[in-house]
Amino acid sequence: MILTRILLQKTQFLDPDLDIVSELSEKLSQGNIGVVAHYYMDVELQGVLDAIKSHQTNQKINTNSDPTPFVAIADSLKMGDDAVKMAKAGATSIVCLGVDFMAESVAAILSRNGFPHIPVYRATAKAIGCSLAESAERNSYKAWLTMAAKSNEKALHVVYINTSLGTKAVSASIVPTITCTSSNVLKTILQASAQVGPEELRIYYGPDTYMGDNLVTMLAAILDGGWSDAKIQSELHPSHNRESLAQLKSNIDVFPEGNCVVHHMFGQDVVDTVKEHYADVFVTAHLEVPGEMFQIAMEKSLEGKGTVGSTSDILTFISKKVAEVAEENSNDAKRLRFILGTEAGMVTSIVRSVQGILAETGSQNVDVEIVFPVASEAMTMVDDSDLAIVPGVSGGEGCSTAGGCATCPFMKMNDLDTLSDIVDMLIEGGDKNMIKLQGHLPPARLADTINGVSAADLGVEPIMYMREFMKDGKLAAELIEKIDAGKSL
């Protein structure tokens, strides 16, 4: 495993065939079809979707209609919010480009917002799995939660949003449960500890072992870094201090057997290469990457030279750094280099953001370079450059599953052809197409009831607790009552 590089100014995949863009955009409009896609989609598909989004927005503005485009590229939580916006704007069906649990979540959020009649279709009738989500569906995960429920502690299960609705339902039936994203997980555990009491609350985090361990590492770094009570209260949480953070750190129990196959790639080989050859670059790392890679990015973040967090956090950090340099309007040539410590599909959104910043500022002297891991046998060369690159949709434009880079094979089951096929089936209609489309619905894996309670309601409950926290800044009174009672039902 080595690191390879891509110069953002050399990319071409954000200029897709305009005939393809126009045709697909018109079909989506004709069929009132919305598309929500994850950041980790194939770069070619993202380029087409991004162009369709711009095309639709311009058309709607020109016709004085609702400017809400029926295409969105986002993280797993926002995909549901975007689907709701599309439904309110008139979409009658949604195509979800992601993995199965994302389609489940989008359908559940639509239903909770008054749109249970709007179907959500996956790109393929085949199962689109996720190694991380599946790790929470093992008997060992249920046993771990059962242990928490029997501990006679005030326990809270903080479950990663990237899990199935079934996992969330079973979890909520065993122990009080709230979902989290990689961008709000630290805020969640800090607030829960503050509301219940750091000495009393025990937090069970799962299923992502790397993320859980990284949270503990982050708290340790803050304490070891000598943060004062005042700094903790001003920059982290107003109700915490060094003593309460130390107590919180010791009261986090991490599920030991869950990880994402993509983020698992950021292991020792990548860490060694970063340390040896890229000591002077900005480093970003998703909370799901292994500890040593996370440690590098976290140390950099304390110096303002890196960030750790979610896909959105990474995108925001890179965009901010590029904007700072571009706005200087210096005549001196500048090159910014970033380690991309997450799935390579993020390159598309990063490119679009960077190109927009450089165009807006009129900067001509800023080069931006993204560095990411790739198998050494997957290397090729750009004809006019010494930059090694990975063969993707076309040379120099990202990477593919076959290319051996940090890319999710499940996400890449979504492609332009499968999207076009679903759109055509929806527009053509007919019994035959409707029967085919039934296979594209999210898999029905929920039992009718769990302990006499609707499994569907139980599955959505942890998501709604998270949404209430995001809205009000504190955990729901109902959830606190369950924690205090030491049981969920």
Higher model confidence: residue 308 or residue 120?
120
Contacts of residue 115, Cβ cutoff 8 Å, sequence gap at least 6: 84, 87
Q: What is the pLDDT of residues 187-204, one digit of tens each?
A: 999 999 999 999 999 999
How far apart, in Å, are the Cα atoms of 174 and each of 120, 169, 177, 347? 29, 9, 9, 39
**pLDDT score of 405:** 53
The pLDDT confidence band at residue 1, using thresholds 50, 70 and 90, is very low
**pLDDT score of 381:** 40
In terms of residues, how long is the chain? 489
How many CB atoms are closer than 10 A to CB 383? 7
Query: Domains in the chain, please, with CATH?
Result: 15-131+414-438 (3.40.50.10800), 132-258+445-485 (no CATH), 263-407 (3.40.50.10800)
Q: What is the pLDDT of residues 50-76, one digit of tens each?
A: 889 888 888 777 777 777 889 998 887
CA atoms within 13 A on the CB side of 37: 31
Residue among 176, 216, 174 nearest 195 (CA): 176
Lowest mean pLDDT among 14-28, 51-65, 240-254: 51-65
The pLDDT confidence band at residue 316, using thresholds 50, 70 and 90, is very high
Residue among 300, 304, 446, 392 nearest 42 (CA): 392
Q: Which two tokens stand for residue 314?
A: 């990474």
Between CA 188 and CA 317 the distance in angstroms is 21
Residue type, 152: N
**pLDDT score of 265:** 61
| Termini Cα distance of the chain | 48
**pLDDT score of 377:** 44
Percent of the chain with pLDDT over 90: 38
**pLDDT score of 290:** 67
Q: Is the pLDDT at 385 greater than 50, yes or no?
A: no
Burial class (CB in 10 A: 0-12, 13-18, 19+), 89: middle
**pLDDT score of 390:** 38
Q: What is the pLDDT of residues 65-113, one digit of tens each?
A: 777 889 998 887 789 999 999 999 999 999 999 888 889 889 988 988 9
Q: What is the pLDDT of residues 404-450, one digit of tens each?
A: 455 666 777 888 899 999 999 999 999 999 999 999 998 766 667 88
Region 125-138: mean pLDDT is 84
**pLDDT score of 280:** 84
The pLDDT confidence band at residue 367, using thresholds 50, 70 and 90, is confident
Lowest mean pLDDT among 4-18, 114-128, 157-171, 293-307: 4-18
**pLDDT score of 119:** 95
Between CA 159 and CA 185 the distance in angstroms is 9
Region 374-382: mean pLDDT is 44
Percentage helix, strand, coil for the chain under 3-state DSSP, each rounded to 5: 50, 15, 35
The pLDDT confidence band at residue 135, using thresholds 50, 70 and 90, is confident
Between CA 40 and CA 407 the distance in angstroms is 8
The pLDDT confidence band at residue 262, using thresholds 50, 70 and 90, is low
209, 254 in Cβ contact below 8 A? yes
Q: How far is CA 51 from the centre of its chain?
A: 21
Q: Is the pLDDT at 470 greater than 80, yes or no?
A: yes
Chain mean pLDDT for the chain: 82
**pLDDT score of 58:** 80
Burial class (CB in 10 A: 0-12, 13-18, 19+), 80: buried
**pLDDT score of 14:** 62
Q: Is the pLDDT at 378 greater than 60, yes or no?
A: no
**pLDDT score of 169:** 92
**pLDDT score of 264:** 58
Residue type, 433: N
Place of tokens 């590029």: 322
DSSP 8-state class, residue 442: P
The pLDDT confidence band at residue 488, using thresholds 50, 70 and 90, is very low
Higher model confidence: residue 396 or residue 132?
132
Place of tokens 């500048």: 334
**pLDDT score of 38:** 87
Q: Is the pLDDT at 245 greater than 80, yes or no?
A: yes
